Structure 1
Amino acid sequence: MTFTSKKRQRVGSSSRLSSFSEEKLNILKNEENERHFHSYKIGGFNDATSADVVLTLQRISTSFDKDQEENVEVEQPAVVYLHSNVLKKCSYFAALLSERWQTSVDNKMEKPIQINLSVPISRTMETYYILLQLFYSNDFSGIIKDVPSATALLPIASELLYDECIRYCVQFLEAVPWTEEEERDVVKLVPFLQQGEAAELLARISPVKGSALEDMLNGLIYTATHSHLNGATVKAFVAKLLRDYSSRDAVRLVLDNAFATSLKSVKDSLEEYSSPNLRGGDHDEIEAMQRMNLHTAVVNGRHLLWLIERMIELKVADTAVKEWSDQATFAANLHRAFRDDAWRNIAPGLPALVLRCTCRLANAVASGSILAQREVRMKLVKDWLPVVIACKDNVSPIPSSQKLLYQELEDVFLQIISTLPMLDAQVLLQQCLNLATRNVDDCTHLVSAFNTWFRRASHAPYLFSDD
């Protein structure tokens, strides 16, 4: 009997599977005779002298294999000599041989029973030989040493109802890591398994609940914004994950939620600071509460700035711009807070944080990165211009870094005003007079904005003809 097959590469069999088959066959082949497997003892695997079952392995073509036939060398049927007392452990063979066992005496049959077993083209003959040998050796750990060997044997063991082999293959696959290609092979095996057998594998490759993705992204963003150890490194890494993630809709959703949460925290803190509850408590207690409120506003302001930068970078900041432009109460509370002197000693960095958030969003609008409607553009300037003016008037001396921030905000607000209808621009430009300084040379941007408006106002109204 000949077990060797043509060496042409089969479609559907990977090189790793081929190497697996060759390696395991070397264990099983007799050194003196390449045509027969090693007999471990009298009555062992493939011992023709004592076998009472003759198994013939023959090729068949399934619908899955039709496209592969032209690329496959047809193999001759192969015969393997087996023993019914060993095959009892396999439910498939036990069912086939049950009647024969009932009529035999001491399981000694007068004539070996003939069984034909079909081998799809997508599998190798060698894998069947190895599985049949395991009936005799039970050397699962010696044969199943990597993922390809387990994924090759498992579907055959499942079809033959070889429970012991199924359990070992599944346990092995549960316990070891997979490459991406190996994971695809494991996924293909799930239909061969019962629900209980596949549970651990499915838990590894399939989310338990539909919100798993959202939960993970929320967790990443929360960790990035709240991390104290290696905070910059964690933020950079999470930013990369968000950039590389394929679903912009999912990223937009979690960033919008995180933005709303952080914005609410800042707003609530400023509300408490601007309108403290004075009932009960002494002066020191009230001051401590106000310190805590400003500190909370600063912490969440940092979170907010990082979130806004990510949203602009990923072009998902549309909702954030609308929300930020609709914060008249929040802006008014900031305006009042920055006219007070207390924040200077408690939270000197708060104005710059809030203005950086405003500046990032306003720049995205002015550059066209975010296409904001006219109402959004107008409210963005109308509500936040007074905050800029209040900060500028109440910070003395102004740090050089903040001077650049104020200059950038003034420029971008004037750019946005230039995109508005002339009546709206007229009202807002008059409010911008507070940006003027004694040195006119420092106000070239303001002069240019007014000159643009005057130039447009000098045009005669455009009238469409009736036609």
Structure 2
Amino acid sequence: MDKAGETKPCKLGDRSTSDVTVCLKNCEGRPEYFYSHSSILANKSKFFADLLSNPNSGASVEIYCSEFNYDHHVSFLKFMYLPEDSVLNSFESVKSAIGILEVSVALKCEEITKSCIQYLEAVPWEDKEEEEIIKAVSKLGPVAVPVLARIQPVDVSATKNVFIAAVRYATNTGGSCPPFGDELKISAQEQVEYMLGEDEETPLVTADEEVKSVVRMGLSHIFSLFQKQLSSLLLESDLTSEALERNVMQYVSDLEWMCNILPKMELMKDFVSNWAELSGNVVGILEDKKVDSVLWGVKVKLIEVTGKALEAVGYGNVILPAPSRVQLLKTWLPYIRKMKPLLDSKGIEDASFTHRMNEDLCQSIEGAIVSFILALPSNDQADILADWMEADQVRYPDLSEAFEVWCYRTKSAKRRLVEGLNRIDNPTVSL
């Protein structure tokens, strides 16, 4: 029995103390009645306060809701009876918090709205949930600031700082290396590529001279490590070690990653210039007797990297002096021409041999080389084409298109020369 003068606490659904009934109806017309208390409803919700202040409101309030937010309305009513400090611990999920927030905003309950915002600001979201959160809070004004602070775009300066830090980590140029493995470095490389995706801030970041300087420093560092690792192969006693091949492949993969990000920053020329300078030494090591029959995966990957350099120059994205272009092509063309049939034959002999130049790679390299050749001086074109026709392997790369164009241009050039000489010998006399 209650002591005299002690007030019995109100509970949702307590018919003995209820003075108003809330009826929830969904679109199907299914009603559910909640025995409530006007003092609590009016105190916590302006919607109920305004409604119940009307003398004609009666003892029952009907609220229409959809089948999708019906449960959120029920949860909202229950929350109204909780102490303010207990609401935060009562949310079941981000989805329920979003639904209750929408109901709370519609029914003008400031206390529960703030609790929803506080909960959403503090818990992790999934991508789909974030879109729903933005939709729910975008029109709430200052109360939604804590949530919006998590999703608003950072300024260019902050983006630049994060990008620089990621590049330094991805290229191991950030000073002392934290105790993480290659997985985090790979993750950093992936995020750098993602940050270079097309958006409004990307051009502002990539055009920054400090950013370019850091990227160039990273490229130089990767090239230096690659050179040292490749040169050290000639000092190794056992080149069949899988660990050794993995070490070399790591640096080659870093170079390939650089080929992916540099064009987006208009820095591919830095890569190609370095690659052209190193190519003679690289091919020399690859053709050394010690390396001749091992490291097939590394060799294929280096051909892929070279293909990116050939494409950049061949299609005019990187402009190099003619002597540098000729040297780059003359260094790699014989090696690629030799490796293609060799890799194919090893694959035929051994089904488990997986290091092949796939069709896409072959076509992209062949197309780049043809375009590359046609942009060279005519005499250099003639030297390369003559060497191609005299070689044992003329099927790949197929340079017949370049040869046909060269022949046509040569005849056209001779015709223009003869016509020019005739005009000199027989000048037109005009009166």
TM-score category of the 2 structures, normalised to the smaller one: 0.5 to 0.7
Separation of aligned partners in 1, 2:296 and 2:362: 16
Query: Matches of 1:260 and 1:381 in 2, distance apart?
Result: 27
Q: Unaligned regions of 5+ residues in structure 2, if any?
A: 1-11, 24-33, 56-72, 172-180, 345-355, 421-431
Residue 434 (structure 1) aligns with? 387
- Equivalence map 1:217-366=2 (5 Å): 242=194, 246-247=198-199, 250=202, 261=218, 264-271=221-228, 273-274=230-231, 286-287=235-236, 296-305=247-256, 308=259, 316=264, 318-320=266-268, 323-363=271-311, 366=314
2:406 paired with 1:460: no
Letter in 2 for 1:79: S
Amino acid of the structure 1 residue aligned with 2:236: E
The 8 Å contact of residues 22 and 36 in structure 2, kept in 1 or not, is answered as: no
Residue 426 of structure 1 and its aligned partner are, at CA, apart by 1.9
Deviation at 1:165, TM superposition (A): 7.8
Alignment partners' CA distance in 2, 1:398 and 1:412: 21
Q: Distance in 2 between matches of 1:448 and 1:247?
A: 43
Instruction: Find the counterpart in structure 2 of residue 111 from structure 1.
Output: none
**What's the offset of the Cα at 1:411?**
5.8
Query: Which one-letter code corresponds to 1:332 in the other structure?
Result: G
Distance, in Å, in 2 between the alignment partners of 1:440 and 1:173 is 66
Q: CA deviation at 1:330?
A: 1.0
Offset of 1:387 from its aligned partner? 2.9
Give the counterpart letter for 1:456 in structure 2.
S
Deviation at residue 306 of structure 1 after TM alignment: 5.9
Distance 1:27 1:216 in 2: 58
Displacement of 1:152 after TM fit?
Answer: 5.3
Which SS does the other structure have where 1:350 is aligned? helix
Alignment correspondent of 2:53: 79
Question: What code does the residue aligned with 2:328 have?
Answer: D
Give CA deviations for 1:357-404 in whole Å, capped at 9, x if unaligned.
2224434665x5xx42653687444324213325656x6972225698
What secondary structure, in the 3-state scheme, does the structure 2 residue paired with 1:210 have? Answer: helix
Distance 1:46 1:457, change over 3 A: closer
RMSD (CA atoms) = 6.2
Q: 1:433 to 1:294 in 2, by over 3 A?
A: farther
What TM-score, normalized by structure 1, do the two folds share? 0.49
Give secondary structure in 2 for the equivalent of 1:436: helix
Secondary structure of the 2:342 match is coil
SS in 2 for 1:344: coil
Instruction: Give 1:205's aligned residue.
Output: 151
State the distance in 2 between where 1:55 and 1:374 align. 71
Contact 2:256-2:305 within 8 A present in 1 as well: yes
Kept in 2, the 8 Å contact 1:305–1:357? The answer is: yes
Alpha-carbon spacing, 1:191–1:257, altered in 2? closer, same or farther (3 Å)? same
**Structure 1 residue corresponding to 2:132, chosen from 170, 177, 181:** 181
Residue 399 (str. 1) matches residue 343 (str. 2): yes
1:382 maps to what in 2? 327
**Which structure's CA Rg is the greater one?**
1
* Structure 2 counterparts to residues 25-104 of structure 1, below 5 A: 38=35, 45=39, 78-79=52-53
Aligned length: 335
CA distance in 2, matches of 1:437, 1:359: 23
- In 1: Cα distance, 2:340 partner to 2:82 partner: 87
2:292 alignment partner, SS class: helix
The within-5 A match list for 1:13-28 is: none
| Kept after mapping to 2: 8 A contact 1:255/1:307 | no
Q: Read off the aligned partner of 2:379 and give its amino acid letter.
A: Q
Following the alignment from structure 1 to structure 2, what is the Cα–Cα distance between the partners of residues 403 and 153?
Answer: 60
Matched-pair contact (CA < 8 Å) for 1:294–1:346 = no
Instruction: Please list the CA deviations of residues 132-174 of structure 1 after superposition, one character each: whole Å capped at 9, or x if unmatched.
Output: 965889874799773232355479665xxx6x98457623663
User: 1:355, CA displacement in angstroms?
Assistant: 2.1
Contact residue 230 and residue 248 of structure 2 kept, 8 A: no
- 1:412 is matched with 368
8 Å CA contact retained: 2:100, 2:116? no
Task: Tell which has more relative contact order, 1 or 2 (C-alpha 8 A, sep 6+).
Answer: 1
Q: Distance in 1 between matches of 2:196 and 2:313?
A: 24
What amino acid maps onto 1:180 in structure 2? E
Query: How far apart, CA to CA, are the structure 1 residues paired with 2:388 and 2:363?
Result: 10
Is the CA contact 1:382–1:428 (under 8 Å) kept in the aligned structure 2?
Answer: no
